[in-house]
Amino acid sequence: MSANKIWFITGTSRGFGREWAIAALDRGDKVAATARDPKSLAGLAAEYGDALLPLPLDVTDRAAVFDALARAHERFGWLDVVVNNAGYGQFGMIEELSEEEARAQIDTNLFGALWVTQAALPYLREQGGGHIIQVSSIGGVSAFPNIGWYNASKWALEGFSQALSQEVADFGIRVTLVEPAAYTTDWAGSSAAHATPLPAYEGTRAKAAEQRARRVGDPGDPEATREAILKVVDAEEPPLRIFFGDGPLAVAVADYERRLATWRAWEPVSVAAHRKDS
């Protein structure tokens, strides 16, 4: 497929959103780029001029999301690729999370993606096609201690996106869940939120940190994902799911092998629960 696409990308101040905006702009595509602080987009605007439409946006504000999509469509007249990248990591054991922290994570990582998806779909249906990219995580396939609520937000994203892909296929709209490994972004740094720790979980927290260090190993380079995302959006038949990075496949395979073994071992109990013999 040819280039010259129109993109709408959330969370372009840094990380994958910024890298993918640059990848698109460098090859001549046009991008509506959103960020909470539009000043963070000044450098891109200066370099790429009218090819970039910088937009301030808090994805938790549904009305603002619909307005941003309308402004992007009004400016460019079309939408080829819609990227839900805005999000952050919430650290903390499940018991440690406050109500405010729990709701904020879902508001951004899940509802933010939902609002953008809902706002984009009328345009994509009308034009007879388009591609929605949902930025998930290996944490949307498996789950790990001390980021359980982040996992919950991404598992929910995975579920609604898989259903969505079936609902919109007849309109020519494709959906892809990008599931990255650990990268040298700011995901676990200043952009992350941390619950107040409980002393009871000190041992568990230490084990979780050790496991994460082994799992992460050598984090990926975000810039290396530029070519990968272009291959995904240019594909005639893009995947519903794709891992980015070296390592997630092994984690997923081991996790699913354990699940299958457990389901099979308990299958007699499962079948017996189907119907009581008279």
What is the secondary structure of 202-220 as a DSSP string?
A: HHHHHHHHHHHHHHHSSPB
What 8-state DSSP symbol labels residue 193? E
Active-site pick, 48, 88, 123, 150 = 150
d(CA 172, CA 65): 23
For 197, the token pair is: 């720790």
What 8-state DSSP symbol labels residue 166? H
- Of 113, 12, 116, the closest CA to residue 64 belongs to 116
As a three-state string, the secondary structure of 220-246 is: ECHHHHHHHHHHHHHCCCCCCEEEECC
Q: Is 229 left (phi over 0), alpha (psi -120 to 50) or beta?
A: alpha
Active-site pick, 30, 137, 154, 165 = 154
As a three-state string, the secondary structure of 245-268 is: CCCHHHHHHHHHHHHHHHHHHCHH
Q: How far is CA 242 from CA 27, 239, 275, in A?
A: 23, 6, 39
Amino acid at 109: N
- Of 236, 36, 8, the closest CA to residue 123 belongs to 8
For 153, the token pair is: 């937000």
φ, ψ at 27 (rounded to 5°): -100, 5
What 8-state DSSP symbol labels residue 183? B
Active-site pick, 13, 136, 137, 161 = 136
136 is catalytic: yes
- Of 146, 166, 144, the closest CA to residue 155 belongs to 144
Active centre residues (catalytic): 136, 150, 154
